Amino acid sequence: MGKKSSQSMSYKNELINSIEPNFIFSKKPINRFRSNQTHIKQNNLDKINQINELKKLINSIQNCNLKNNSKNLILGDGNCDSPIMIIGEAPGKEEEKTNKTFQGEHGALLEKMLLAIDIKKENVYSSYAINFRPPEDRKPTSQEIKRYSVFLKEHISIIDPKIVILFGSTAMQSVISSNKRISNERGEWKEIILKNKTYSLMVTFNPSYLIRFPENKKFSWEDLKKIKQKIIDLKIQI
């Protein structure tokens, strides 16, 4: 037995001998992260409660054609403790049917886009600028975007992410109130202050737009690489 092992055994014996004989040792390993895990669980529970309250608030909207012509309210899904929040335009037919975000062909493309920068969709939190499916999947009006932007900004504050990715012009308009062409806004980091907290934003093309205009995928790839670099710079684990 080496010198180091002998010292370790001696220290252990001294420790045991200093404790009364009737003391019962627990065989369970010491969990040095227990207090932190408890905090995380409580934080997660608080967020879930706040999300449920937000859902009730949105469901209480009166005189809304979107709500009246839609089957489900789709607020969001995924990891509510994620450091990354992604926001799309509005749910469509597949989302309304499954009650989940980003389904169908554009959902599959979104997953590929995220995987290209080593992110699994289930590890982020996903939501929409508009929480009800527009009739015939039309583009939301400016009035509708403005009305729901209040709820979206509250949603961002609840999730409290490090990075927010805005997919498409509707999400862009809802969060940063920009009426510029998305081609002029995408690819550059922006910031928004909500409740005295600053959030980093990246605007990029909506996956459904890229399906119709695949030649623009090269620009989205440039945006994704910037997001990847931001994740590295902020030392985000995801």
Phi/psi at 23 (5° precision): -70, 130
b/e for 49-70, b at 16 or more Cβ within 10 A? ebbeebbeebeebeeeebeeeb
Which is higher by pLDDT, 31 or 73? 73
Residue 10: inside a domain: no
226-to-106, 107, 119, 220 alpha-carbon distances in Å: 21, 21, 14, 10
CA quadruple 135, 166, 168, 94: dihedral sign: negative
pLDDT: which is higher, 49 or 15: 49
162: domain CATH number is 3.40.470.10
Q: Which tens digits make up the pLDDT trace of 94-144?
A: 999 999 999 999 999 999 999 999 999 999 999 999 999 999 999 999 999
Would you place residue 33 in the very low, low, confident or very high pLDDT band (cuts 50, 70, 90)? Answer: very low
The CA-based diameter of the chain, rounded to the nearest angstrom, is 81
51 within some domain: yes
13 located within any domain: no
Nearest to 208 by CA among 164, 160, 157, 170: 170
CA dist., res. 166 & res. 140, Å (int) = 16
In this structure, what DSSP letter does residue 121 have? G
Q: Which residue has the tokens 């990075």?
A: 163
Cβ distance 202 to 166 under 8 Å? yes
Q: Is 78 left (phi over 0), alpha (psi -120 to 50) or beta?
A: left
Q: How far apart are CA 146 and CA 229, in angstroms?
A: 32
Residues 6 or more apart whose CB falls under 8 angstroms from that of 105 comprise 211
Contact (Cβ atoms closer than 8 angstroms) between residue 86 and residue 126: yes
- The structural domain count of the chain equals 1
- Residue 15: inside a domain: no
In-domain check, residue 34: no
**pTM for this model (two decimals):** 0.82
Q: pLDDT confidence of 6, banded at 50, 70, 90?
A: low
Residue 11 lies in a domain: no
Q: Which domain holds residue 108?
A: 41-233
Q: Is residue 54 part of a domain?
A: yes
Question: Does 99 fall in a domain?
Answer: yes
